[in-house]
Amino acid sequence: MTNPFDKVKDSFTVDGETYHFYNIEKLQDKRIEKLPYSVRILLESAVRNCDNFAVHEKDVENILNWEKTANNIEIPFKPARVLLQDFTGVPAVVDLAAMRDAMKRLGGDPSKINPLVPVDLVIDHSVQVDVARTVDALEQNQKIEFNRNHERFSFLKWGAQAFSDFFIAPPGYGIVHQVNLEYLAREVMNKNNLLYPDSVVGTDSHTTMINGLGVCGWGVGGIEAEAVMLGQPMSMVLPEVVGYKFTGKLPDTATATDLVLTVTNELRKKGVVGKFVEFFGEGVSSLSVQDRATISNMAPEYGATMGFFPADKNTIKYLLSTGRPDKNIKFIEQYLSTQNLMCDYNSPNHPVFTTTMELDLSTVVPSLSGPKRPHDRISLTDMQKDFNSCLSSPVGFKGFGLAQEQIKKETTINFKGKEYTIRNGVVAIAAITSCTNTSNPSVMLGAGLLARNAVEHGLEVLPYIKTSLSPGSGVVTEYFKHSGVQDALDKLGFNLTGYGCMTCIGNSGDLSEPVAEAITKADLVAAGVLSGNRNFEARIHPLLRANYLASPPLVVAYALAGTVDFNFETDPLGISKKTGQPVFLRDIWPSKQLIQETIEKNVLPSMYKSIYANVTDGNKSWNELKVPTGLLYPWEENSTYIHNPPFFKTMELTVPQRPPIKDAYCLLNLGDSITTDHISPAGNINRKSSAARYLESKGVKPEDFNTYGARRGNDEIMVRGTFANTRLVNKLAPSVGPNTTYIPTGELMFVSDAAEKYQSEGHPLIVLAGSDYGSGSSRDWAAKGPYLQGIKCVIATSFERIHRSNLVGMGIVPLQFKSGENAQSLGLTGQEQFTIELPEKSQLKTGQTVKVTTKCGKSFETTLRFDTPIEIEYYANGGILPYVLRRLV
């Protein structure tokens, strides 16, 4: 099909080589100047891909008319590439392998199930902090990682050989988002000398980190990512864009982490769900790409689809400093300038935005967030008071509901022959971890310099605190060694434990037995302090009830303090062995000037080149993995890691009639802010759980259970781990935990057991929920698990963007209570049976009103949250992947 916009094709020559591109400036439309930079990238994609079949000329016009059409129309978008990490990547590859089987069964060509855009997968979520505070922690953790995961790794290695344009970075190279920023991101794609903006969707919500480099990218469900891999355009509502103006400069005491916690708090209050946030103003020019990436990374925490920083001179400087080829830099700079995608943040002119906000960077102060949510910011000076207030406040996001006698409780532990007294607020885990901060030399070297100053004074970290260092890439290790700070970090217990997403996703490993036993017996509110982006209940470690996000230097500071019940202004960290005087945090805090000088001397382009030079060659353990060959994967039925899923086994070419949702039982009645951590299987597999019972039936010993994340390729495990969170609050259960009431008999049982019983008796299921249902990471199993449990519909007050899309992608109906209503206001207990009056497909419309009636006579209206017409097609087909498969056949 011909492109009607071929007339705007243009070219330029750099160093004797000619490059072609679709020049949106040649549209000669004055509206382009007003478009936010992020929307210009959507416009270029529509122009380049226009074929009047998948992408229409009308779509181009709608984007040009963004000021009027934003939030009112849908557009197709074809991302340039797809990014996966291994937790979400394994089920994606499992689905592709299963689709090949189905393609063959239905008479099609299995090789058609193949990525049509570049796919990069970084294995970073499997390594755990099993060993800490030893010189060989890295080596031991990586050895354990391979022993635990060799079957998964072997399957992924098969995928790399079986599918074309599918690159895998083996374990040990870093966190997917940092590897993306430092190595994988192209900035401008070059396909046979046709240039176009780099853009990416990833199966991790923190894919947004790449927005700091001026690359459009965000997290999607694994199901949606698979469709993009197979050449399908994404259907998305053209977003509103909130302009966020930065003025001034950060003060000497504030870090990029303090800035992002401030931004997260402010944007949450503003309300930016489903919107782009685009930063502008002269204050941005003072921020490095790494600082910007820190802010972009936490877009899921402030609720935006993206937190976008248009490319500028700092972007080009970063590409040079990370060792990108000079040849690429030249055509990238030329392309961005010619397309008017290069921003001058100091210019008084800026695009038109839906609405604007402003922040004076000089007002940012040292901060933390917690104890249970990333947007609950606390000034460091208020931290002690806030923590003590949380202890006595009613149970909630800012309260633990302790009685006075429990608040005063303390206990003694014996650790390696010495006794220590611990009480509420004890720091049990202090971790420099996660993609948010470990890409940023300013906060990483800040932590190292603070550690060096602390060691010079003879300060120590109590030995029972589990300290760990898990950088985002080997580059951090290079500049830590080069600057001489690693030795000091080692002396404080921050030994290198692995390169991967570790503590922030719950791969924190076990606490020492004396500490775990004391916390449990005394029922203490123990704390974790980490440089991550997530601190939801039971995420970091099941025994830690208070978790705080902080900059890497503050992680070291709280490790030295040993408790979050601490005032750094008035409480000394210890007595200096050098001066004999009390040492306060202000005495060892490194100046911004010193940090910058250290960066300039020690963070070198050669480090990036040397670290990533061998990434395609793998490592010894990876290269020794034996893998099957061929287009089709030889499934092993008894495998407890990789299992052929049921999604396509009985699928036929003819689209079936969807059965009505009649007299459905409520599996769970949930409140507000139920996250994907509550829904999706995550963390260690509890030995008393339904999943554990299944594994034992397969002959797996408890010590080999591993984590749900490691077993994401096995649907039998994952369906049993859905809604298995120990902190789940379900109104159909008398206490917190993974239980529900089986309504017909009143029996209390595991959620998964109840779901299985309902299904065996032919009863459809629904879920009642409050606001922000599904907030958190973009986890495909948060939708796949409910689908396999027989849930046909979720009725919520509101939905998180990615999770709503994932539900639709699995053929589950998302219904939203009308404004001002919820299950409680309507008098619903969850004991009712529900009939949902969905019309036939031909009469289904986006956003229409759907009536729900109960067997006890109540009825209420809801809004159908199919947001785009294509989602109706997905629902009718039983999900997005059956829809794509039928089209391919």
Q: What is the pLDDT of residues 588-632, one digit of tens each?
A: 999 999 999 999 999 999 999 999 988 877 788 898 898 999 999
pLDDT at residue 889 in the model: 84
Q: Do 597 and 704 share a domain, yes or no?
A: no
State the Rg of the chain over Cα: 26
Q: Is the pLDDT of residue 87 over 90?
A: no
pLDDT tens, residue by residue, 34-79: 999 999 999 999 999 999 888 999 999 999 999 999 998 889 999 9
At residue 140, the pLDDT reads 96
Do 60 and 179 fall into the same domain? no
Structure letter (DSSP) for residue 415 = E
Question: In terms of pLDDT, which residue wins out, 842 or 341?
Answer: 341
**At 463, is the pLDDT very low, low, confident or very high (cuts 50, 70, 90)?**
very high
Rounded to an integer, the average pLDDT of 646-674 is 94
Same domain, 717 and 841: yes
* Res. 879: pLDDT tops 70: yes
Backbone angles phi, psi at 95, to 5 degrees: -65, -40
Claim to verify: residue 97 and residue 70 sit in the same structural domain: no
Paired tokens of 106: 């239905």
State the pLDDT at residue 235: 85
* CATH code of the domain containing 415: 3.30.499.10
Is it the case that residue 833 has pLDDT exceeding 90? yes
For a pLDDT cut of 90, what percent of the chain falls above it?
85
Same domain, 65 and 110: no
Mean of pLDDT values over 375-397: 97
Do the domain assignments include residue 47?
A: yes
In 684-750, where does DSSP find H-type helix?
Answer: 690-697, 715-721
Q: Please give the Cα distance from 382 to 735 (Å, whole number).
A: 33
- In this prediction, residue 141 carries a pLDDT of 95
* Boundary (domain end) residue, out of 17, 46, 77: 77
Looking at the domain assignment, is residue 635 inside a domain?
A: no
- Do 37 and 140 lie in one domain? The reply is no
What are the residues facing 862 on neighbouring strands? 817, 850
Write out pLDDT tens, residues 153-196: 999 999 999 999 999 999 999 999 999 999 999 999 999 999 99
- The answer to whether residue 388 is domain-embedded is yes
Phi, psi values for residue 247, rounded to 5°: -125, 165
Neighbours of 164 (CB within 10 A): 12
CATH number for position 711: 3.20.19.10
Looking at this protein, which amino acid is placed at residue 887? R
Number of domains present in the structure of the chain: 4
Distance CA(653)–CA(610), nearest Å, equals 50
Q: What is the mean pLDDT of the chain?
A: 95
- Residue 615 is predicted with a pLDDT of 84
In 3D, which of 879, 709, 802 has the Cα closest to residue 218?
Answer: 802
pLDDT exceeds 70 at position 137: yes
Query: Above 70 in pLDDT, residue 778?
Result: no
Do residues 748 and 757 touch, judged by C-beta distance below 8 A?
Answer: no
Interval 794-821 mean pLDDT: 94
Q: Above 70 in pLDDT, residue 855?
A: yes
619 domain residue, yes or no: no
The answer on 812 and 744 residing in a single domain is yes
Residue ending a domain, choose from 348, 363, 378 = 363
Q: Evaluate if residue 686 carries a pLDDT over 80.
A: yes
Q: Are residues 523 and 592 in the same domain?
A: yes
Are both 371 and 490 inside the same structural domain?
yes
pLDDT at 491: 98
- Residue 184 DSSP one-character state: I
Residues 6+ apart with CB under 8 A from 669: 730, 731, 732, 767, 768, 823, 828, 829, 830
| Closest listed residue to residue 351, CA positions, set 361, 340, 360 | 340
What is the per-residue pLDDT for 74?
86
Q: Is the bond preceding residue 371 a cis peptide, omega within 30 degrees? A: yes
Q: What is the pLDDT of residues 272-324, one digit of tens each?
A: 988 999 999 999 999 999 999 999 999 999 999 999 999 999 999 999 999 99
Report yes or no on 100 lying in a domain: yes
Q: Are 375 and 353 contained in the same domain?
A: no
Nearest to 572 by CA among 459, 475, 487: 459
Domain stop point among 562, 578, 603: 603
Report the run of H or E that residue 601 belongs to, with start and end: helix 592-602
Determine the structural domain holding residue 849 and report its residue range: 661-888
Contacts of residues 51-56 at CB distance under 8 Å and 24 or more positions apart, as own/partner, are: 51/1, 51/2, 51/3, 52/1, 52/4, 53/1, 54/78, 54/233, 55/233
The answer to whether residues 46 and 100 belong to one domain is no
Q: How far apart are CA 873 and CA 886, in angstroms?
A: 12
What single-letter amino acid sits at 509?
G
240, part of any domain: yes
pLDDT at 663 over 70: yes
Q: How far apart are CA 670 and CA 634, in angstroms?
A: 41
Residue 610 in domain:
no
Nearest 5°: the CA angle 84, 318, 606 is: 90
State the Cα–Cα distance between residues 237 and 247, nearest whole angstrom. 31
| pTM of the predicted model as reported, rounded to 2 decimal places | 0.88
Same domain, 356 and 393: no
Helices and strands of the chain, counted as H and E runs: 32, 34
* pLDDT surpasses 80 at 511: yes
pLDDT at position 47 is: 98
Could you tell me if residue 853 is inside a domain? yes
CA dist., res. 887 & res. 875, Å (int): 15
